Each structure stands twice: as C-alpha cells, then as structure tokens.
C-alpha cells in the first residue's frame, strides 16, 4: 500500500518535520516551515549530495551566490521573456489555473441531463450522464475561463529605497545562472581543466500559478544544481563529449537516489519531447518519482549547450570562453545541468520510507530512512526515570554520543511507546539503560555495564558493553550491517 499525501502531511506536523508557514495567522499559501526533525533531514540531504557530487570528486567545485542578481542576468538567460506559464482565470469565482493543467484536475459539473445535479468528475473524463466534457471552470463549475495569458513566474522586487522601474530586480527563479555568470571567476581562481562542474544548493523562488500538493510545488524552495562544463570538440568513447556526459549524469543521479533508499519501482526516466524542450535545451531527461500524487518530476538533467555562456558573454561584453591548450583555440563549453529540488527529494524520501506493519497484533509505523538521512541517529532511553544511576548513566551516554551525532534522550513514556515514537521518525538505533546495566547499590548488587541497542528495521536487540558503544554505533552509522555487528554480541529479547 502506498502512503497518501494526507498521512505524510499529518505525520510531518505531528512529529516536527514540516509546519504550515505562519500557521497562527491562517497560513501563507504554499509556504512551509521545516521543524526540528525536518531541518535535520533536509540538511542531511544537502550534505550527502554535496559530499557525493562535490567533495569526493576532483572535477567539481562549489559556490554560494547571492539570491538577488543583476537584473540583466534574467534578460540574458531568457527568463524575462520565456519564464512564463499560460494562465486562465475563471470569470465567476476568479480562481486562476495553468492553462495546460486545467484538465489534470477533477471538475465540477452541473449536469443538464439530471436537472442540474452537481457532480465531481475525475480528471479528463466526460460526464457519465450527459457525456459532456469540461468547458467551464473546473472548481466552481459555473464560470467561463478567460483566454490564456502569459504570466511571468519571477518574483519582482525593488533594490534600494526608491520604488521605480530602474531599481526593479528579481528573486532568482533558479540557482543555475550564478554558475554561468561566475564561470570565469571560478575557472581562473581554481585553474580548472574541462570537463569540470560548479555546484550550488540554495533557495529559488517562483510565483507558481497553481502551487500545492504539500512541498511538491511551492513558491519558495531549494535547489541543488550542478553546471557541468564540457568541451564540445572532444569525444569520449567515440561520442560527442556533451552527449556522453549527459548520459553519465543521468545514471549517476539515478544511482544516487537509489543509494539513499528510493525503490527502483518508484523511479523512472522521462525523455522530453522535442516540442516541450526549454528554449536552451538540446535534450532533457527527467527523473520521475511515483509521488502520492502520481508520477511527477523529481529532478531534471538538461543539455543546455553553450546557450547560457554565449548569452551572458553577449549581454555583459565579457569573454566567457575556455582556452583549449591542445587545439590552441578558445571554445565556449557545453553545459550539462543536473537540477534537483531539495524539497521534492525530501518528500520522496518520506513517501518511500513510510511503512505501516503489524507487530504482535499492533500497528507499527516505521520510517525506513537510510541511516545517513535519518534526522535522529540514536535515542537514549532510560528504562526507569526515577532511578538515579540509570538516569546518570543514560545522560552520560547521550552526551558522549552527541559529540558526533544527533542524539535524543527521552523518558516521557513507557519503553514500548518510546520505541514506536522513534520508529515513526526513522531513528535507526535506540540505546536502553536498565537495572541490569547499573545494578542496585542499595542491595550491594553491581551492574553488568552493558546497554541494549535496538535496531529499527529488524527490532532485534543486542547487549553491548558501554565502552564499546560509540564504536559500534559509529560502525552502524557509517554503513556497517546490523547482522555483522549483532553477531559479535549476545542478543536481548526483542520488543
Ligand atoms: P515543474 O515542471 O514541476 O514545474 P520544472 O521543470 O519547472 O518543474 P526545473 O526548472 O527543471 O523544474 O527545476 C529543477 C527542479 O527544481 C525540479 O525538478 C524540482 O525538483 C525543483 N522545483 C522546481 N519548481 C519547484 C517548485 N515550485 N517547488 C518545489 N520544487 C521545485
């Protein structure tokens, strides 16, 4: 059974992943705030992406550019002229829709064949009574829709104190352009050789006409983008370098999402048809994910050719070329752009990780997040919150582990309940301190100095001496198998 969006929205709110922005004022349309667990998950996604695609590669560097850029950037990039969606308005209820998406939603119909009864008809289908198709507003079912008008998706604002045309600027609708305008700065300062890439993760803003579906489409979101520059005169494996690298990036990005847990059957590639390619693109392939709303774009990988560098060279009057030592010529590199949304990635990881199962007649909700994505790595749980030695030992363990990982201490419920709480937010390991660990000094009994580690997925438990704990947790959190670690220690009864 796949999870519904409502379940994810409610889990996200209840457990501190994501809240509606400005909720106490009634909320801000399509804006969301990441809570204590959400920010950890989001940071982990960005950190892993940076580690795998920037830090560990010799051909990659990163930047962090400002969101407000020179307004001419958006003229040169084509965003001022082309970054538009066709929009239609209902003349009656005034709701606004993307013209190309009106038929992708269920529609309200007052059916003439049934004395005007009101029906909600599934997207794209005719009325089963009168056979009619949607012509009016899909929402109110009464108003005519206006002819499509082009609507620019960039947020406009003013730079400085005077609100006049000369000071208009825009919030960036993508992070990519900063890599193009900094191409020469990066090339010269880092003495790079083609092929190389520049990466950036940061905020982007789009005044989407129809935002929605939780964090899938919002007006403020984060992107992780790479502009990978290649020499168009070179060949790799007998193929033009840009085509070779385009395929390599598609494979690498797909493998990345698989590596961090997205199931194969929920991922697919979608080749853009010639008539839907952006104005700069030679070829674009999307990685689509089976979201709770159906198959939709998770990220796109485009071959942007030399369009952007040429445009910026023309509009700025600066040369944006690379000197090819071998051929003794200046070339304008081609660009492959893997562009991923952080929020959509987070939504996909939540949806893919969410599992409901039955354990001994009770429902268990578990978020099977990859250990490196999990917002909390370890929960330290004292079995009795009133026994001083237990509490002291558990607190000391929390402090020790927290030097390296995000760890929580929780004593606010019975142990079974505490485990379920951690399962639901994807905490891979729980460490329990009990009477056996510390003994009973009143009775002159000493403890065995061992704690229980519980594995989220198998619910198995092992008894580990406290001095070994940090090393075992470290092994498990850096990719070590539970079965390997568990084989070295006695098991405890499962919970
Ligand atoms: P869509 O067709 O869904 O509007 P797009 O093709 O315009 O997306 P790109 O311009 O290719 O998107 O942006 C790259 C990535 O940025 C997308 O794959 C997506 O993950 C993310 N993204 C784009 N727009 C939004 C948005 N409004 N909200 C959240 N993420 C977004």
DSSP string, 53-68: IIIT-TTEEE----SB
Ligand 1 center–CA 38 separation, angstroms: 20
**Closest residue to atom 4 of ligand 1, CA basis:** 217
Ligand 1 mean position, distance from CA 341 (Å)? 6
Say how many Å lie between the CA of residue 154 and the centre of ligand 1.
Answer: 13
**What is the 296 CA–ligand 1 centroid distance (Å)?**
10
Q: At what angle do helices 5-14 and 342-353 cross, to 10 degrees?
A: 100
208 CA: nearest ligand 1 atom? 27
How far is residue 12's CA from residue 9's CA, in Å, rounded to a whole number? 5
- 3 state SS for 127-139: CCCCCCCCCCCCC
**Helix (H), strand (E) at residue 92:** none
Mean pLDDT by runs of 10 across the 495 residues of the chain is 92 98 92 98 98 98 97 96 91 92 92 94 93 94 94 93 87 98 97 97 95 95 98 96 98 98 98 92 97 97 98 97 96 98 98 95 96 98 92 97 97 94 98 93 87 97 97 96 95 72
Question: Does the beta carbon of 291 lie inside 6 Å of ligand 1?
Answer: no
CA 466 to chain centre: 36
- The pair of three-digit structure tokens given for residue 91, joined into one six-digit string: 């003349």
Per-position b or e across 273-307, b if 16+ CB within 10 A of its CB: eeeeeeebbebbbbbbbbbbeeebbbbbbbbbbbb
Please check whether residue 451 is in contact with residue 466, taking contact to mean a CB–CB distance below 8 angstroms. yes
**H helical segments located in 238-341:** 241-259, 307-316
Question: Which residue is closest in CA terms to ligand 1's atom 6?
Answer: 300
Token reading at 338: 């893997």
Ligand 1 binding pocket mutation candidate from 217, 335, 341 (most atoms within 8 A of CB): 341
**How close is the Cα of 430 to the center of ligand 1, in Å?**
37
Sequence-ordered strand ranges (E) for 42-166: 60-62, 84-89, 96-98, 107-111, 117-121, 149-152, 156-158
353 lines ligand 1 (CB under 6 A): no
Among 297, 343, 346, name the best residue to mutate to test ligand 1's pocket (greatest count of ligand atoms within 8 A of Cβ). 297
**Is the CB of residue 172 below 6 angstroms from any atom belonging to ligand 1?**
no
| Nearest atom (ligand 1) to Cα of 296 | 3
User: How far, in Å, is the centroid of ligand 1 from the Cα of 342?
Assistant: 10
According to the model, what pLDDT value does residue 495 have?
53
Q: How many CB atoms lie under 10 A from the CB of residue 19?
A: 15
Name beta bridge partners: 297.
Answer: 288
Q: Judge if the beta carbon of residue 300 lies within 6 A of ligand 1.
A: yes
Which pLDDT belongs to residue 116?
A: 93
Question: Which residue of 221, 222, 249, 295 sits with most ligand 1 atoms within 8 Å of its CB, as the best mutation to test the pocket?
Answer: 221
Res 65: pLDDT: 98
pLDDT of residue 453: 98
Centre of ligand 1 to C-alpha 136, Å, is 28
- Tell me if 297 CB under 6 Å of ligand 1: yes
Cα(425) to centroid(ligand 1), Å? 27
For the Cβ of 220 lying below 6 angstroms from any atom of ligand 1, the answer is no
Q: Is the CB of 343 under 6 A from ligand 1?
A: yes
Q: Is 339 in the pocket of ligand 1 (CB under 6 A)?
A: yes
Name the residue with the closest Cα to ligand 1, atom 22: 341
Residue nearest to atom 25 of ligand 1 (CA): 217
**For atom 16 of ligand 1, which residue has the closest CA?**
341
Q: Answer yes or no: is the C-beta of 341 below 6 A from any ligand 1 atom.
A: yes
């Amino acid at each position: 059974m796949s999870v519904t969006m409502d379940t994810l929205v409610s889990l996200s709110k209840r457990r501190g992943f994501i809240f509606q922005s400005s909720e106490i004022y009634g909320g801000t349309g399509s804006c969301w705030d990441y809570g204590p667990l959400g920010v950890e998950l989001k940071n982990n996604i960005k950190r892993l992406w940076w580690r795998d695609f920037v830090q560990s590669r010799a051909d990659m560097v990163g930047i962090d550019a400002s969101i407000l850029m020179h307004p001419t950037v958006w003229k040169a990039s084509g965003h001022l002229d082309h970054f538009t969606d066709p929009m239609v308005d209902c003349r009656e209820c005034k709701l606004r829709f993307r013209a190309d998406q009106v038929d992708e939603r269920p529609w309200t119909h007052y059916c003439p064949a049934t004395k005007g009864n009101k029906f909600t008809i599934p997207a794209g289908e005719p009325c089963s009574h009168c056979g009619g198709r949607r012509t009016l507003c899909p929402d109110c079912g009464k108003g005519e829709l206006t002819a499509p008008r082009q609507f620019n998706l960039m947020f406009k604002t003013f730079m400085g104190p005077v609100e006049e045309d000369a000071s208009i600027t825009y919030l960036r609708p993508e992070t990519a352009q900063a890599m193009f305008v900094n191409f020469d700065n990066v090339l010269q300062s880092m003495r790079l050789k083609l092929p190389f890439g520049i990466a950036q993760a940061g905020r982007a803003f789009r005044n989407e006409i129809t935002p929605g579906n939780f964090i899938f489409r919002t007006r403020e979101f984060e992107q992780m983008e790479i502009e990978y520059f290649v020499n168009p005169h070179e060949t790799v494996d007998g193929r033009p370098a840009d085509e070779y690298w385009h395929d390599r990036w598609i494979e690498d990005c797909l493998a990345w999402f698989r590596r961090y847990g997205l199931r194969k059957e929920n991922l697919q590639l979608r080749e853009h048809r010639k008539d839907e390619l952006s104005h700069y693109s030679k070829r674009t392939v999307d990685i689509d994910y089976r979201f709770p709303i159906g198959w939709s774009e998770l990220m796109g990988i485009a071959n942007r050719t030399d369009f952007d560098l040429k445009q910026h060279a023309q509009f700025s009057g600066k040369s944006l070329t690379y000197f090819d030592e071998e051929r003794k010529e200046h070339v304008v590199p081609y660009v492959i752009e893997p562009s991923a949304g952080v929020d959509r990635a987070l939504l996909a990881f939540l949806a893919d990780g969410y599992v409901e199962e039955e354990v001994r007649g009770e429902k268990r909700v578990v978020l099977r997040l990859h250990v490196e994505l999990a917002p909390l790595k370890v929960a330290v749980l004292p079995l009795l919150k009133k026994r001083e030695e237990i509490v002291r030992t558990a607190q000391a363990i929390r402090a020790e582990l927290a030097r390296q990982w995000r760890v929580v201490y929780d004593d606010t419920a019975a142990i079974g309940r505490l485990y379920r709480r951690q399962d639901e937010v994807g905490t891979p390991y729980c460490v329990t301190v009990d009477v056996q660990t510390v003994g009973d000094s009143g009775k002159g009994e000493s403890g065995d100095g061992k704690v229980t580690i519980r594995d989220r997925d198998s619910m198995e438990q092992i008894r580990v001496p406290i001095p070994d704990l940090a090393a075992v947790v470290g092994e498990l959190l850096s990719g070590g198998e539970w079965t390997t670690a568990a084989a070295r220690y006695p098991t405890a009864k499962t919970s």
